[in-house]
Structures are given as C-alpha cells and as structure tokens.
Amino acid sequence: METPTHTEQSQSTAPVDGPALVDPRAPRFGQSLTALTLVAAIALQLPVFVYALAVLLSAAVISGWRIDAYALLWRHGALRLLDPPTAREPAAPHRFARVIGAVFTTGASVALLAGLPVVGYALAGLVAALAGLAATTGFCLGCRMYRQVQFFQRLGIV
C-alpha cells in the first residue's frame, strides 16, 4: 500500500473511526480572512462583502462542510507554501465557532438589507473582532462556548 503524499495527508480530516481533526493553522487562516473581509466591509461601507461572507460561511455549514471555500483556499493555496502540520486538533469546536459566525453574519446581512446599517455593521464588527482575536491570539470564543456546552451535556443539564 502506498504512503499518502503530503497533500493527501493534509486533506484528510478524520481517521476512519475517530473525530474529524484539523491542522490548527487552518482555522486561523479562515479567521484571518473573515476578520479582514469584515473590516474592509465596515471601513468601505460595502455591505456586499458582508453578504458574500454570510453566503460562504452558511454554505459550509449547510453542506456539512463539503462546500467550504476556506478549506479549498487552505488546501490548494496556503498549505502548499507551508510545512506539513506538526499536530492536529478536533475540528468540532472550530466548526461550532463557524456556525456562530454564519449566524451573526447572516443577521448582519438581514439588518443591512432591512435598512439598519448601524445594527448590521455592529454585528459584522463583533464577528470581525472575535475572528481577529482568534486569528492573532488563538483565543476562540466560539470554541470555548462549544466546550462549555459539552461540559453541561456531560452533567445532563442540556
């Protein structure tokens, strides 16, 4: 049996019988793109950037991560320039954070379309700030929230 190449190994996200795993640099890449896109949308007053990001994030969530523009850009762009990952971590907390980002960017889009730019850009700014924080420091609020929900599920509270 042949050994998988670097690219094939990086694209594999789940062992056959275990949870999905991700290169920890990949979520930071996506968080950077999210933050930069939303900062540009707010600074330039271009709601189309917010709409586009809401569509990209929502498509990934709705498709069960099969249609994921960030993963495509990571695998076929950024990863080719980097060394193979030295570690992997569970993908579920990052996916949960992306669900929250999709919900808030969709809410921002609805507000902008409804003629409420202050509300829309405030929601977009919140997502930009949290994505930027996660990209630069590694502190992912959505990931923390995921772990808290799991904790309460184990206790039988939720």
* Domains of the chain, residue spans: 21-154
Which pLDDT value is given to residue 17?
Answer: 58
- Over range 72-96, report the average pLDDT: 93
The tens digit of pLDDT for each residue in 96-142 reads: 999 999 999 999 999 999 999 999 999 999 999 999 999 999 999 99
In the chain, how many H helices and how many E strands? 8, 2
SS3 content of the chain, % helix, strand, coil (to 5): 70, 5, 25
- Over range 82-97, report the average pLDDT: 93
Which pLDDT value is given to residue 79?
Answer: 87
Structure tokens at 82: 């980097």
CA distance 48 to 75: 26
Choose between 38 and 152: higher pLDDT. Answer: 38
8, 13, 19, 23 alpha-carbon torsion, rounded to 10° = 110
| pLDDT classification of 12: cutoffs 50, 70, 90 | very low
- Buried b / exposed e across 82-93, counting CB within 10 Å, b at 16+? eeebeebeebbb
